[in-house]
Amino acid sequence: MSTAYLFPGQGSQFVGMGKDHYENNEAFKALCERANEVLGIDLTSIMFEGPEETLKQTEFTQPAIFLHSVALYNTLDASPDMVAGHSLGEFSALVACGALDFESALKIVRKRGQLMQKAGTDNPGTMAAIIGMEDEVVEAICADATDMIGKEAVAANYNCPGQLVISGYVEAVEKAVELATERGARMAKLLPVSGAFHSSLMQPAFDGLKSELENATFNTPKCPVYSNFTAKPTTDPEEIRANVLDQLLNPVRWTQTIQGMIENGATSFVEVGPGRVLQGLVKRTHRKAEISGHQ
């Protein structure tokens, strides 16, 4: 009997997130106050009051989701056998398993959000969801769109079987959506995002985050952490450091992560953080999986 703890990424945020916990749990409140102090911004006001447009800005979204997830995790009597986080959520997972301390991770996440937002402005791109196709078919569509347009479209998030998010230059992603529709996708639509995450357009963010990660202290985690970049478990601090950097330019292999966790003995999954996105993805990956959550 093994339990896997999962932590959500960008897109799970909502105005009011964490407010109930803040008002009713002293430990949650204390970590929120500490985060405001460390970052020098009133992050909790943005989380609780919005406005939504501000919360949706990547530089605020990422630390908000991270804070909610970690503060909530700390209120649980949890002892995970393995952990993973979706994109940004990987940093929440690293704190949960002891690979990074809270304050170091918070500063890295804030910097990551700022760098990714700037990269999205400097290198405009977009993302799209393709539903109802095999991964290999979507990969082929991305390759065809890239050839036709002369600009990159790539797989960005392998979310669950039949659900893949693609990323890249606007014209290339639009062409891929058109091709996917023609070739029988159940749904192919552009997403309202501020950049082409998990593609080469994030190179400036990769370059900017590299020194930040090199200066951080990574510890041996208490349990294996599954990397977005490899979809494999590791307890090697240097491998963890490299993997969280590499995920900026490469796809989130979430389908493969959940499948790997099940193959390695995970019998139940617990999502910790705002929303229920990962619970749905786990169910669509393995219908009989036991999944619960703390929001």
Taking phi first (over 0 means left), then psi (-120 to 50 degrees means alpha), and beta for anything else, what does residue 263 get? Answer: alpha
3-state helix, strand, coil in the chain (%, to 5): 50, 20, 30
The helix/strand count (H/E) of the chain reads as 13, 11
Q: Between 203-214 and 237-246, two packed helices, what is the crossing angle to 10 degrees? A: 160
Answer yes or no: 86 catalytic. Answer: no
- Residue among 87, 104, 167, 199 flagged as catalytic: 87
Q: Is 292 a catalytic residue?
A: no
Catalytic residue, from 21, 68, 198, 227: name it: 198
Phi-psi region of 11 (alpha: psi -120 to 50; beta: other; left: phi over 0): left
Rounded distance between C-alpha atoms, residue 79 and residue 96, angstroms? 9
- Cβ neighbours of 72 (radius 10 Å): 22
Pair type for strands 163-168 and 266-272: unpaired
Beta carbons of 220 and 270 less than 8 angstroms apart: no
Continuous H helices in 15-88: 19-24, 26-39, 43-49, 52-55, 58-74
Q: Which residues are catalytic?
A: 87, 198
